[in-house]
Amino acid sequence: MSDELIYQSIKENKQEGFKQLVTHYKSTVEQIAFQYGLDQENIVSVVQETFVKLHRGIDRVERHDLSGSLYRATMDSLKDYRRIQTTITNNNSYKMYGYYFENLDHMVIQHALTKLDDKYKIPIILHHFHQMTLEEISFIIKANSDMLKKLIPQGMQLLHVNIEKMDAKETSIDFHHVKLSDMLDEMVYSYERLPEFTQIQELLNQVEMVGQKQKWRKSIPILVGIVGLILFTFLSVNYIQGERQRQVLKEEEASASVDSEMDDLDNEEDNQGLDPELEAYFEEAKERLAEELGIEDIDTFPTVTMVEGLLNELKSDPTYYHDDTKSYIEMLLQSPSSLKAKLDPNAIDSVDYLYQYFYLVSNYEYAFQEYLNQLLWDYDISKDDYESIVSLQEGASSYKGSEKIIEFIDVLGKQGYILTTTSEQDALTLTVKFSIENLIQYMEHVGYSDAYIAYVKYISNKEDQDWNRWESFAAYALEAEELLSTYEDSYSAFIRDSIIEDIESYLHNYLRFWENTIVTEVEKEEYNQLLANHPDSILSQVVKTTMRNWEENDWKRTEDAIRIYDMRLLFDKRYQHINYEDTLILDSWPFTPTTSTTYESYSEELNQDMLSEENPMEIVSLYAYASVRKDTDTMSSLIYSEELLDSEEESLEWFELRNSGAYALTEYQTEHSAVVFIVNWEGDPYFTINLDKDNGVWVITQIHK
């Protein structure tokens, strides 16, 4: 697809047009990152950052500059990885490229190229591997074209030197008979055949997610940190302040006061001031919150100071988003009770409000705890009074102390929180907690379904999860699976996906993919016990398949972690009869690892007895491989009728499937019939392939678009 068509598509439908842009250029960015010398993990990061940067400014891209903008975004993303790339190239030999190149000389050249300085390496990559003129390179890297005329030959000479510095046994390159530039041109074919490092849909999801989170630009790190803390502490973090901690806090505050005064002097000239409208909006929001909470000294309330801190950051950033900042103020500076009043199970946006409420109450749990700690400190409340303070919630208490404390207990109750005493290391503390019980009672009162009430209980149970015991994750995953199987049809897609993401996370921790160690006998016993106790669980399917893979690898854990999209497909009712072991992501060519070897031997004889051990997907992979090679003889031997070639084949682009994030799902309908569904990441079918077993060999009978 041409840049002109992509540009026009973006103008007509930004989301669809950007998808076309990613589809067209993703492999180009991957190639540049690989040629630069990054490993797979950092290639993925560069690709993500490149398209995030491009998406952020896509509205400002000119019609004639689409590809130029992409290349500039790629170069900009690579800057952050120069140190990482240097470490990689200094600690790995040319052999690390053996998976990607068949030619030993190409492996050596790639390794030598990564050792060049950027001022030589990048122009060589763009000129020789991406066929750019000096003027085009000059425009992308902002270098004088006359300078490039010198840099590229100098870089080629240095590359020549790097190659010759390597052990003579490692290369057979004879520069007396071959030009280095010709060898670079030869390598283009191998680069175009690199495996997929990123999936298109996963990349689009990442771009969308980052785009939603990064609307405050320079304030992003602060906001992400806040949100991360809030999510992590949802209904679970207890803030404990002992007498000794208070003393430390008092000393730190005294020191911080001096530092703050100095910082104010340093930053006074830098701060340009907020939009007066935002300042007024912030003041109005504070007044409204003070009235809703019944707290007079609202300026010192933690949520207010948090928002104020963000606004102070924005004073030195002229690029902040005015409307988004107002939305942020409005979202946080509302009381839990005011948002609770908006919870309505019959509203179109009921799920959004429920999630916003979860976020808000977790934030205020922290804020109320901090505010209480300050009150206890300011009024020098004795621990002996803690029990009587807690009993204020019941309406009968002997507490005769500060009116501020009494008023605050009333505020907590109205906002849905309770106060408890906890004991840590023989120290009694007062702890603010959001009351899930009160929320559930309210949800029942206003008519929420059993499904959503069960989900709220499920969320609250996370408070007691022990993330230090890997064995516990099986129970957590089973609980989530039971919730989904019981109420799946009642949940929104967002909640359904969040539960599946939980299951994927629990499984990842349960199977301990990150360990990269030998599976112990204790672990084997645990996993086998799960299989025995829950044979019909989807969780058991994953564990069973994973254990089989480990056993084939001498019980060493493989690095193939579970993809969230794998789990979504397993819970898709359209494919409820498909097992985990019969799912395959089509991210390599050929689709299955044995296809090329099988093809070499089978295509010579076309003896179907050689295919008796092949499963349906392996037959499909063999057929696709022969199709791309235009080997009609092999194709004909794998299908039931010659008519299938004429009616279906031309419309199927097998090789392109590996760029689309597609999956192959095999369903065994009977012992002698099967269907292979080729679907996208959401489970929507591209086409289906029917197979029957004939004389012990699977044969393709139909292909449906």
| 459 found inside a domain | no
If you write DSSP's letter for every residue of 258-294 in order, what string do you get? HHHHHHHHHHTTT-----HHHHHHHHHHHHHHHHHHT
Helix or strand run (H / E) with residue 670: strand 663-670
Instruction: Let me know how long the chain is.
Output: 705
CATH code of the domain covering residue 597: 3.10.450
Query: Does one domain contain both 147 and 279?
Result: no
All residues at 6 or more sequence positions from 298 whose CB lies less than 8 Å from its CB, including other chains: 286, 287, 289, 290, 304
Residue 454 covered by a domain = no
- How far from chain centre, in Å, is Cα 602? 41
Other CB atoms within a 10 A radius of the CB of residue 71 amount to 23
Domain membership flag for residue 453: no
- Give the pLDDT score at 567: 83
Residues 132 and 11 placed together within one structural domain of the fold? yes
Final residue before a domain boundary, out of 548, 571, 594: 571
Determine the Cα–Cα distance for residues 221 and 85; give it in Å rounded to an integer.
25
Whose tokens are 């790190």? That residue is 221
29 lies in the same domain as 167: yes
Same domain, 556 and 599: no
Q: Is residue 554 part of a domain?
A: yes
- The answer to whether residues 38 and 89 belong to one domain is yes
Tell me if 427 is assigned to some domain.
yes
Choose the final residue of a domain: 571, 601, 621. 571
DSSP bridge partners of 410: none
Q: What is the pLDDT of residue 1?
A: 66
Q: Looking at the domain assignment, is residue 206 inside a domain?
A: no
pTM (predicted TM-score):
0.58
**pLDDT at residue 395, rounded to an integer:** 77
477 and 413 share one domain: no
Question: How many domains is the chain partitioned into structurally?
Answer: 4
Range of the domain at 179: 3-192
Domain boundary (514, 549, 571) is at 571
Q: Are residues 542 and 591 in the same domain?
A: no
- Domain for residue 579, yes or no? no
Would you call 6 helix, strand, or coil by DSSP? helix
Q: What is the mean pLDDT of each run of 10 residues along the chain (705 residues)?
A: 80 84 92 90 88 84 84 85 51 69 84 88 93 88 82 86 67 66 86 86 75 43 39 35 43 48 44 72 93 91 86 62 74 92 87 84 89 90 88 80 89 94 77 93 94 91 80 94 92 87 87 80 96 95 92 82 74 92 88 93 93 96 92 92 62 72 92 95 89 95 89
Q: Are 634 and 486 part of one and the same domain?
A: no
Residues 612 and 643 in one domain: yes
pLDDT at 176: 57
In a domain, 208, yes or no: no
Same domain, 270 and 390: yes
**Among 577, 597, 575, 689, which Cα is nearest to 638's?**
689
Could you list the beta-strand ranges (E) of 438-549: none
Same domain, 413 and 469: no
List the beta bridge partners of residue 43: none
Helix (H, G, I), strand (E, B) or coil at 418: strand
pLDDT digits (tens, 9 = 90+) for 539-596: 999 999 999 989 988 998 875 656 666 788 899 989 999 999 999 988 788 999 899 9
Instruction: Say if residue 612 is in the same domain as residue 660.
Output: yes
